[in-house]
Chains A and B, each alone.
Chain A
Amino acid sequence: MPLRADMMADLCRIAPELILCVFGILLVALEPFVPSSSKRALGWLAFSGSLVAIASLWIVARHPGPAYGGLIQVDNFSLFFHGIILGSVAVVILGSINYLCEERLQRGEYYALVLFAAAGMGVLAGAGELITSFLGLEMSSISTYILAAFRRDARKSNESALKYFILGSFATAFFLYGIAMTYGATGTTRFTGIAQALSISGPTLLAVLGLGMMLVGLGFKVVIAPFQIYAPDVYEGAPTPVTALLASAPKVAAFALMLRIFYVAFGPVQHIWFWAIWISAVLTMCAGNFAALLQTNVKRMLAYSSIAHAGYILVAFAASTELGIAAVLFYLAAYALMKIGAFTVITHVGGRGERHLELSDYAGLAKKQPAIAACFTLFLLSLLGLPATGGFMGKFYAFQAGLDSRIIWLVVIAALNSIVGAYYYLRVILTMYFREPAGESGPDAGLGSEIEWMPQPVAASIWVVLIIAALGTLYLGIFPSRVMEFALRSAASLR
């Protein structure tokens, strides 16, 4: 059968996913033929695959509209999210290459799984229907379960993956049950169809139950309270580059789906879900920030910090306006950049076997490797929300959207939480700059316990990641208007 014009257009609309899958399959096929001394090349192949996928966004942008009868929707919203997701994935792959060499885990499957996960997230960003989005969610989830277990000989990695897998499957079951109920209540799984049915029938009990079930499933994926319990253990145990991935791209993609489900499909019953989001926002911010205060492991502390950030994003989410949606988008872009940057620093400082994750390991880092310390300071200040960083502008737009929609109490709670957050971010910075390093401690310190521990020299690929993340964070902080304009146009395309 010859390719018809409309089929060609549909294929163009899913070009990034096609490219990612082709590169993923290529990696798996090449894996056995590449000698183990040059497996690193597979990492570069995966990286170039993600760059080609980013380049293909130009083709996608020229074919706006629904693909496959509305199962996939190509609009500014989907493009914006594809940009964040593919960018994050490319940078994470770059940050993994060196880590995998050191841990002797260099394998084609790792990169293939990252690319397949990215394809799933791309489906999530564009999905216009529940079954398609469910499959996208599973593609990204199952890949990340496996990635979390990639350090097979480390007990923590196994614990992390098992927890993530069991609880994640449980959450997925909730999501699926929610889809079934929504279908029962409205007779369709398409977002626009659900909205039509709801605006006629009003919020029926079955539809609201379905939405609640889907909120449980999605709440797990975007890590909001009270479904956040698993996150610190999983983030801490997973290999650090995988943690960087977990904290950025899948979360961003799940937020994309959540925005579509809540604003498009369940837009007519906004008054029902508003309070659920409101309460969850407060719980998430408090749970993340107050637990982070107590942490001495920097990797775990950043896991709690990413819970807190999901709470700030929910403030913008609850605003229920176009500005609110745009603020969510902007925040997610800034958030992904600074989280990947911060976790890449942890990957580097952690060293072989991830032995240096404690706060005390960061003492005196400013003297040993000033540039790394400076980058980490920038990311932490951005997470804290200091002006001239992307994190500040993200919070600024989120709070502004909240004030415009008169959810003043929520904004006040969020602002107070930011102040609490300052304590644990600044503590790390102070440790790096002002505390004298202690001698090597730990079980295998042995004879060299007086010798000062030095972090390894910085690999070139780590530099590139840190520079991209740092420049991106500064760009969003100093010149936010272009990205914000695009976010506003994306928000408009959602409605």
Chain B
Amino acid sequence: MTLPILLFFVFAGIAVGGALSLIFAREPIHSALALILVMVALAVLYLLMGAGFISAVQIIVYAGAIMVLFVFVIMLLNAGVENRTQHSIMARWLGIPLAVFLIGDLAYWMARGAHALPLAERSGSLAAGPVSTQDLSLHLFQSYLFPFEITSILILIAVLGAVVLARREP
């Protein structure tokens, strides 16, 4: 067994274990910490696939920014131990069949290999194989510069919205 495969199994195990404890933890803050574990383990998996940029973004955005927000919300709402509800009927009767279907579907396509997916042949623009940060930045700052720039206006609109809706009346 080579090192990458060994690492894959270790971090895939951590991700699955983290996801399980996220669901089963009874205190919201424990769930949030478990989610960080999942995010970081996923970042390592991306790195193993050669997607360095995605991996870095995963840590910065998800494990960093978004999780801080989660923890803040939990703290501000002062959420304690969650109450167990009676399991909903929908979840009991549809949940397991749907989960089995999803796993079966994924397993089927994986067994047939990625080439069997009805996707078009990638034509040059985004080449097969690992995408380097340099390729990504070339796309972002040259061919897709315009959408990148108008995203900043979009964020400005969101900020304005927060100001308009949350400002206290004088």
> Which A residues are within 8 Å of any B CB, using their own CB?
14, 17, 21, 24-25, 28, 67-69, 71-72, 107, 109-110, 112-113, 116, 119-120, 123, 131-132, 135-136, 138-139, 142-143, 145-146, 149-150, 152, 184-188, 197, 201, 204-206
Contacts and interface: CB of A to CB of B under 8 A. Distances in A.
Q: Which of A71, A112, A146 has the most CB of B within 10 A?
A: A146
B interface residue count range (under 10 / 10 to 19 / 20 to 34 / 35 or more)? 20 to 34
Contact of A201 (B120, B146, B158, B160): B120
A127 to B, nearest CB: 9
Contact of A184 (B119, B161, B163): B119
B23 interface: no
B150 A142 contact: no
Nearest to A185: B120
Interface string B102-134: 000000000000000011111101000000000
A86 to B, nearest CB: 17
Which 7 pairs of residues, A with B, have the shortest CB-CB distance? A187-B120, A146-B161, A68-B146, A132-B147, A187-B123, A184-B119, A109-B164
Contact of B157 (A67, A71, A146): A146
Contact of B160 (A113, A119, A205, A206): A113
A142 B119 contact: no
A187 B122 contact: yes
Given A68-B145, A152-B165, A206-B119, A135 B154 contact: yes
B90 interface: no
A176 to B, nearest CB: 13
A123 B150 CA distance: 9
Nearest to B120: A187
B156 A25 contact: yes
B150 A136 contact: yes
B83 interface: no
B151 interface: yes
Given A71-B147, A131-B147, A135-B147, A143 B122 contact: no
B160 A28 contact: yes
A187 B164 CA distance: 41
Contacts of B118: 185, 204-206
B106 to A, nearest CB: 16
B150 A139 contact: yes
Contact of B144 (A14, A131, A138): A131
Contacts of A135: 147, 150-151, 154
A142 B130 CA distance: 35
Given A109-B163, A146-B164, A139 B153 contact: yes
A25 B152 CA distance: 12
B143 interface: yes
B156 A116 contact: yes
A183 to B, nearest CB: 8
B139 to A, nearest CB: 11
Contacts of B144: 71, 131
B78 to A, nearest CB: 25
B153 A145 contact: no
A201 B122 CA distance: 14
Contacts of A205: 118
